[in-house]
Structure 1
C-alpha cells in the first residue's frame, strides 16, 4: 500500500527551472498531506548536497527537481544505483530528452517528423544569412538543454538574431536553430500507460514561451484538440513509438505542431511540471482526474 511507504520529495536545485521546481513541490506536498502519506521534503542547492541525501529507509523519491541534474539523468542514475524507485523516466530517457538535439535525432531516426534544424556549440559564431537560407526567413533559436521554453526566441531579422544569441550566452551546451513551423500547437500527456486528451494551446504570443506559460496565463487557453481521426492516430502512434524506444512508462508530455495535417514533434518532457499552470495537470483535469488522483497514479504506476 502507498500509505505504508516512506517518501522523500526533492526540490530546488540551481537550474534555470528552480522556481518551477519549488511550485511543483508545493503542490505535491499538499497532495501528500491530503492523502496522509509519510514523507519528508528536502530543498537542495549545490550538487554536493545530493551525495548526502537522507535516503535511509526511503522507499520512493518524488523528484520535483526540474532541469539540470535533477532531470538530465544524473539523479536518476544515482537512485537506480541505490535501487530506489522514483517518478519520471529512467536515466537514459532523461538524458536523451533533456537534449532537444538528441531527441530530434532519435525521433527522426524512428520515422517521426521533426522541424528542420541546425545546431552549434554555445558561443560558436553562427551565420544569420546561411541559417535563413536553410531554415527560412523566420526561425526559432533554442538552448539545447533548458525546459519550460526558457531562452526560446523567434527570429525574424538580424536584430532578433543577435538578441537571441545574447540571451543564450548564459547557458552551456548546444544552440538549436529550428525551422519555424506554423500550425496548431498541441501537447499530449501520458499517465500510467494511457494517453491523456490532446490539448490545443492558444496564446497571445509568437511562441509558447516561458513568459506565455508562467507570466501571462490569462492570455493562454487550453481545449481538447479537435483533429481528424487519421491525424490523431498519427500523433498517438508517434507518442507510443517514443515511449517504446525510451522506455517511458509512468508519465511524460509530448509537444507537437500540426501543420497541414502533419504532426511535427518539438520535444519530450520526461518530468512535466505539476503546478496549477502546468499543461499536464490541465490535461489530466480534462480527463476527469483531480490533482490527488494524478499524483496517486504517478507513485503507483
Structure 2
C-alpha cells in the first residue's frame, strides 16, 4: 500500500469557521490511513507551510479541510499548480459547491427541485424591507451564509424582527446571505462515492432544524439508515442525488442534502464536496450500511488519486 500511494499529506484544520470539525475529521482519516499501512502525515495549513509540500516529498493529498480555503477550490487550485493529485472534486466544482447561491442557480437551470430563495447582500440590505421579503418567501425563511458549512450562522425567521436579527448574525460570517422559503418536513442526505449513491440517511432532531448543535453536540439527534423510504422512493432520491452531484461537476466523493415536505416533494439543499469524516459522520454511516468499514472508505477515497 505504501508503494501505491507514496507519501500522503492529510490536510486538515485550517483557518475557516469549521476548523474544529475539520480537526476531528482529519485526525480520524489520518489514523485510518496509518492503520492501513499508508505513509500518511497530518498537515495543518494554520501552522504548517504548505508551499513546501512538494519539496517535502508528498506525492498526493487527502483533503479534509472544511469550509473556506479547503472546500472552495483554493487548496485544489494550489495542489493542481504543484501537480499533486488530491481527493474529491476539482477546482471549479469545489468553488461552485461552496457557493450555495450558484449551486441553486445551476440546479434550477437543469430543472432540479430547490426551494424559492433570495440573495441578500450586506451593503444593500435595508431593515424596512424585511416584511416584504418574508411575504415573497411564504412567510418563513431559512437564513444561510452563502459560503459557510456545518450550519454555521443559520437560523429560522418567521417575522421581520427575527429576520433582521438572523441576518445581522449571518453577516458576521459572510457578506452574502441566502434566504430560502421554509420547508416543513424531513431532512435526508445521500453520500456519493465514485459517482454513485450510498444508502440514504434521515436525520431527526428536536431542534427547529438540523443545526450545528444537533450535528455536533446533541446526544438526542437520531440518524436512520436505512432511512425508511420505499424502494421506489429510494430510487427517485438516489437518481436525483447523482444528477445534482453531476450537474455541479463534482467527482470522487461528497454528499448531497435534501428536504422532503409533507406532500413528499423533494428539495435540494446543498452539495458538500468535503463532508465530515469522523467515524460517526454521515458519509461513514452510509458507507457502513453499504458494508464498507471506515478504514476501507478512507482507502477507497484515496484510491481516486491514483
Q: Aligning the two structures, in what range does the TM-score lie when normalised by the shorter sequence?
A: over 0.9
2-structure distance, mates of 1:173, 1:125: 10
Deviations 1:178-229 (A, max 9, x none): 1011122100001123311111111111111111101114333333223344
Instruction: Indicate conservation of the 8 Å contact 1:254/1:269, yes or no.
Output: yes
Bigger Cα displacement from structure 2, 274-283 vs 148-157:
274-283
Query: In structure 1, the residue corresponding to 2:12 is in which secondary structure?
Result: strand
1:36 corresponds to? 37
Cα RMSD for the two superposed structures? 1.9
Change over 3 Å in CA distance of 1:261–1:37 after alignment to 2: same
Unaligned runs of 5+ in 2: none
Deviation at 1:110, TM superposition (A): 0.7
1:192 corresponds to? 194
Instruction: Indicate conservation of the 8 Å contact 1:139/1:179, yes or no.
Output: yes
1:112-127 paired onto structure 2 within 5 Å: 112-126=112-126, 127=129
Query: In structure 1, the residue corresponding to 2:10 is in which secondary structure?
Result: strand
Instruction: Indicate conservation of the 8 Å contact 2:74/2:91, yes or no.
Output: yes
In the superposition, the TM-score normalised over structure 1's length comes to 0.93
Say if 2:220 is the partner of 1:213: no
Bigger Cα displacement from structure 2, 139-148 vs 56-65:
56-65
Query: What is the aligned residue count?
Result: 300
Deviations 1:254-283 (A, max 9, x none): 001112222100000011110134111111
Instruction: Indicate conservation of the 8 Å contact 1:231/1:263, yes or no.
Output: no
2:20 corresponds to? 19
Deviations 1:10-37 (A, max 9, x none): 1111100000110011101110121111
Bigger Cα displacement from structure 2, 111-120 vs 151-160:
151-160
1:1-301 paired onto structure 2 within 5 Å: 1=1, 3-4=3-4, 5-45=6-46, 49-126=49-126, 127-259=129-261, 260-301=263-304
Deviation at 1:55, TM superposition (A): 5.0
2-structure distance, mates of 1:23, 1:201: 21
1-structure distance, mates of 2:2, 2:152: 35
Query: In structure 1, the residue corresponding to 2:220 is in which secondary structure?
Result: helix
1-structure distance, mates of 2:193, 2:219: 24
2-structure distance, mates of 1:173, 1:234: 36
2-structure distance, mates of 1:274, 1:90: 19
Deviation at 1:132, TM superposition (A): 1.4
2-structure distance, mates of 1:37, 1:50: 20
Change over 3 Å in CA distance of 1:248–1:2 after alignment to 2: farther
In the superposition, the TM-score normalised over structure 2's length comes to 0.92
Deviation at 1:70, TM superposition (A): 0.9
1-structure distance, mates of 2:49, 2:248: 29
Bigger Cα displacement from structure 2, 81-90 vs 238-247:
238-247
Deviation at 1:83, TM superposition (A): 1.8
